[in-house]
C-alpha cells in the first residue's frame, strides 16, 4: 500500500480513528517525494538490512522495504498495530518490533531478526528514521555510543539539531553535540524539509542528516572519558575562557595555563573556537590529572 499522499494517509487514520500522541513525537510523513529522497540518501540495495525507528503508519517503512533486503522497525505505540497490519500486509521483508528504541540493543535485535547475518558478529546494517523529536539526542547517542555494528545513519531531525551536528568551530551552533557526533561519525546535512510534508505539522523546521560511521575518531584520543569531560567543561559555561572553564575539572590554573601554551593553544580562547584535534590534544595531556581528581 502506497502512503504517498495526504489523502491516502488520512484515509487510514480515519478508518482506525487514530488519535495522535504529541508526547510520542507523532508527525507522520505524507509526501512521496520526501520519502523517496530519504530512501535515496541511504543508497539501499537488496543486500542491505535497515533498522527503522518509529514506524508510524508505515509510510517510510514500506518505501524502505521496496529497496532493501530486510527492514526491521521498532515502534512504541501499540495503538498503531491495526493500521500497520493493514499498510504493511503486502511486504514479506518487514519485521515489526514493539518496544522503546532507546532501551533496545540494536545489534541483538538485528542479529535475531536476520538469523545472525547482520548485527552482532554479522554484517553492518543501516539505520533510517524520521525521529520522534522529543528524544532526538538520547536516541542518536544511544545509536552511536553503544558502538553497534551500523555503517550509515539517515535521520530526519529538527533543523536546529542538524545545524548543531554539522557546525564548524567558531560558530554559535558548534558545541558538545557537534563533537559527540563527530567522535563516532562523519555528519552531513542532506536536505531541508518543510513543515507541510507532515501530518500534523510540527512546530519546527526539519532536515535530513547523513552520518557515516567511523572506525576511529578523527584524531587520536587516548582516553574517551577524559575527552568528553574536557568537552563538557569547555561548553559548560560558553562565555568563559578555556582557562577558567577547564579549571572546573579541579586542575591548578598555573599548571593548566602552561599545558595549554605548550599545546600552542591560547588559554584565553573560548571552547567554541577549538577544533576536534585541539580538544583531543588537550584531553590526551589532561587525562592523568583528571582521573586523579
The binding track of 106-135 with respect to ligand SAM, each residue x by CB under 6 A or -, is: ------------------------x-x--x
Q: Is 25 in the site for ligand SAM (CB under 6 A)?
A: yes
Q: Which of residues 43-102 bind ligand SAM (CB under 6 A)?
A: 53-56, 59-60, 74-77, 100-102
Q: Is 1 in the site for ligand SAM (CB under 6 A)?
A: no
Please say which residue, 196 or 238, places its beta carbon nearer to ligand SAM.
Answer: 196
Task: Classify 222 as helix, strand or coil.
Answer: coil
Q: Is 182 in the site for ligand SAM (CB under 6 A)?
A: no
Least Cβ distance, residue 102 to ligand SAM (angstroms): 5
Least Cβ distance, residue 180 to ligand SAM (angstroms): 20
CA 287 to chain centre: 28
| CA geometry: angle 62, 111, 83, nearest 5 deg | 30
Q: Kindly tell me which residue out of 4, 27, 109, 259 binds ligand SAM, with binding defined by CB under 6 A.
A: 27
Task: Classify 200 as helix, strand or coil.
Answer: coil
Q: Which stretch binds ligand SAM (CB under 6 A): 18-26, 110-118, 225-233, 253-261?
A: 18-26
User: Who's near 264: CB < 8 A, 6+ residues apart?
Assistant: none
Please say which residue, 129 or 286, places its beta carbon nearer to ligand SAM.
Answer: 129
Bond into 200 cis (ω within 30): yes
Least Cβ distance, residue 202 to ligand SAM (angstroms): 8
Pairs from 162-166 (Cβ < 8 Å, separation ≥ 24): 162/189, 162/206, 162/207, 162/208, 162/209, 163/189, 163/207, 165/209, 166/209
Task: Using CB under 6 A, count the residues that bind ligand SAM.
Answer: 22
Choose among 41, 81, 39: nearest CA to 57.
Answer: 81
Determine the residue with CB nearest ligand SAM: 54
CA distance 39 to 65: 10
Q: Which residues bind ligand SAM (CB under 6 A)?
A: 24-29, 53-56, 59-60, 74-77, 100-102, 130, 132, 135
Amino acid at each position: 500500500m502506497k502512503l504517498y499522499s495526504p489523502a491516502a494517509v488520512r484515509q487510514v487514520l480515519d478508518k482506525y480513528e487514530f488519535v495522535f500522541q504529541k508526547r510520542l513525537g507523532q508527525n507522520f510523513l505524507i509526501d512521496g517525494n520526501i520519502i523517496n529522497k530519504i530512501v535515496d540518501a541511504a543508497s539501499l540495495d537488496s543486500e542491505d538490512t535497515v533498522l527503522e525507528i518509529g514506524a508510524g503508519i508505515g509510510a517510510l517503512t514500506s518505501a524502505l522495504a521496496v529497496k532493501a533486503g530486510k527492514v526491521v522497525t521498532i515502534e512504541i505505540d501499540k495503538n498503531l498495530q491495526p493500521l500497520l497490519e493493514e499498510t504493511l500486509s503486502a511486504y514479506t521483508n518487514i519485521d515489526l518490533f514493539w518496544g522503546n528504541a532507546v532501551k533496545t540493543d540494536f545489534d541483538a535485535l538485528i542479529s535475531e531478526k536476520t538469523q545472525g547475518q547482520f548485527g552482532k558478529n554479522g554484517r553492518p546494517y543501516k539505520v533510517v528514521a524520521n525521529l520522534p523529536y522529543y528524544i532526538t539526542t538520547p536516541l542518536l547517542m544511544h545509536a552511536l555510543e553503544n558502538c553497534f555494528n551500523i555503517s550509515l545513519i539517515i535521520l530526519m531531525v529538527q533543523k536546529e539539531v542538524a545545524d548543531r551536528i554539522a557546525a564548524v568551530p567558531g560558530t554559535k551552533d558548534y558545541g558538545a553535540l557537534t563533537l559527540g557526533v563527530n567522535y563516532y561519525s562523519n555528519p552531513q546535512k542532506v536536505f531541508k524539509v518543510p513543515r507541510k510534508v507532515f501530518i500534523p505539522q510540527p512546530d519546527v523546521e526539519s532536515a535530513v542528516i547523513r552520518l557515516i560511521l567511523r572506525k576511529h575518531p578523527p584524531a587520536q584520543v587516548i582516553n574517551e572519558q577524559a575527552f568528553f569531560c574536557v568537552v563538557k567543561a569547555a561548553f559548560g559555561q560558553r562565555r568563559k575562557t578555556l582557562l577558567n572553564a577547564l579549571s572546573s575539572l579541579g586542575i591548578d590554573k598555573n599548571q593548566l595555563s602552561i599545558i595549554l601554551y605548550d599545546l600552542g593553544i591560547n588559554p584565553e580562547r573560548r571552547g567554541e573556537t577549538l577544533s576536534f584535534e585541539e580538544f583531543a590534544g588537550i584531553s590526551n595531556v589532561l587525562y592523568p590529572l583528571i582521573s586523579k581528581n
